[in-house]
């Protein structure tokens, strides 16, 4: 297992080693000691979520108040999704920037997103399954969203699925009506870099 930092601090790509034979394939999706060695922290799993999405579906951009926010370790056991991490921490040198990892049932990569960061993904195949290991349970009063089509962030969402067929974004009403990045900042919804890093450092 290789754990590689992304350009957004607090986010990593996890590349598992796969073992295949005539029976099928085996891999370690998560291993605490290697995760802790690479990230400097442990992950206490409080909730596991699963979503199943049609091609073109976008879920996010979602984030939660810090503290405690919600760290996420995400992988795709079936299908394919383009997973996005967005730096929404005011005061961060990469504020407003994003990075992506393709999660699918071929390479079987995963992504880890620390507390205080934004998260979204687009499904690239009907029936794509995303599984999230979450550090805290869902708390609707602490959850917020940013419009995933926000032009300030400018995420380059795919226009084709994994088979080359054209797709268009499918959003929930909640995500479609979410504010853009600047409006969320003006409303005081976003965490500061100092607050997010201070909380994360306290988890180490």
* Stated length of the chain: 204
Mind listing the pLDDT tens digit of every residue in the chain (204 residues)?
Answer: 999 999 999 999 999 999 999 999 999 999 999 999 999 999 999 999 999 999 999 999 999 999 999 999 999 999 999 999 999 999 999 999 999 999 999 999 999 999 999 999 999 999 999 999 999 999 999 999 999 999 999 999 999 999 999 999 999 999 999 999 999 999 999 999 999 999 998 866
Is 62 annotated in the active site? Answer: yes
Nearest to 181 by CA among 90, 92, 82: 90
Residue 114 to residue 151: CA distance in whole angstroms: 24
Strand partners, 11: 113
Which among 75, 81, 167 has a CA at the least distance from the CA of 127? 81
Residue tagged 């073109």 (tokens): 56
Task: State the sign of the Cα–Cα–Cα–Cα dihedral 46, 77, 18, 117.
Answer: negative
- In the set 73, 119, 132, 144, the catalytic residue is 132
Specify whether 73 is catalytic.
no
Give the separation between CA 11 and CA 76, rounded to whole angstroms: 17
Residues with Cβ < 8 Å from 133, sequence gap 6 or more?
30, 43, 45, 48, 72, 73, 74
Position 202 scores a pLDDT of: 82
As a dihedral over the C-alpha atoms of residue 173, residue 54, residue 139, residue 154, rounded to 10 degrees, the angle is -70
pLDDT at 204: 61
Q: What pTM does this model have?
A: 0.96
Domain boundaries, the chain: 2-202
Which pair of structure tokens corresponds to residue 118?
Answer: 């934004």
Query: Please, which residues have CB within 8 angstroms of residue 115's CB and are 6 or more apart in sequence?
Result: 10, 64, 66, 67, 68, 69, 70, 71, 135, 196, 199, 200, 203
Given the structure tokens 């996420």, which residue do they identify?
72
What does the pLDDT read at residue 138?
Answer: 94
Written out in words, the top-level CATH class of the domain with range 2-202 is mainly beta
- Alpha carbon 83 to its chain centroid, in Å, reads 6
């Amino acid at each position: 297992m290789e754990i590689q930092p992304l350009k957004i601090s607090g986010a990593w790509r996890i590349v598992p080693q796969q073992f295949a034979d005539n029976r099928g394939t085996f891999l370690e999706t998560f291993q605490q000691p290697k995760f802790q060695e690479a990230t400097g922290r442990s992950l206490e799993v409080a909730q596991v979520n699963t979503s199943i999405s049609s091609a073109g579906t976008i879920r996010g951009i979602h984030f939660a108040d810090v503290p405690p926010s919600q760290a996420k370790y995400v992988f795709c056991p079936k299908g394919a999704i383009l997973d996005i991490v967005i730096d929404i921490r005011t005061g961060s040198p990469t504020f407003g920037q994003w990075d992506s990892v393709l999660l699918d049932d071929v390479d079987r990569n995963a992504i880890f997103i620390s507390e205080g960061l934004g998260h979204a993904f687009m499904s690239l195949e009907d029936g794509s399954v995303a599984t999230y290991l979450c550090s805290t349970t869902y708390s609707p009063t602490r959850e917020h969203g940013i419009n995933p089509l926000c032009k300030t962030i400018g995420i380059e969402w795919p226009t084709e699925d994994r088979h080359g067929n054209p797709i268009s974004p499918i959003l929930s009403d909640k995500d479609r009506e979410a504010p853009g990045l600047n409006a969320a900042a003006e409303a005081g919804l976003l965490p500061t870099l100092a607050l997010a890093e201070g909380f994360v450092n306290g988890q180490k």
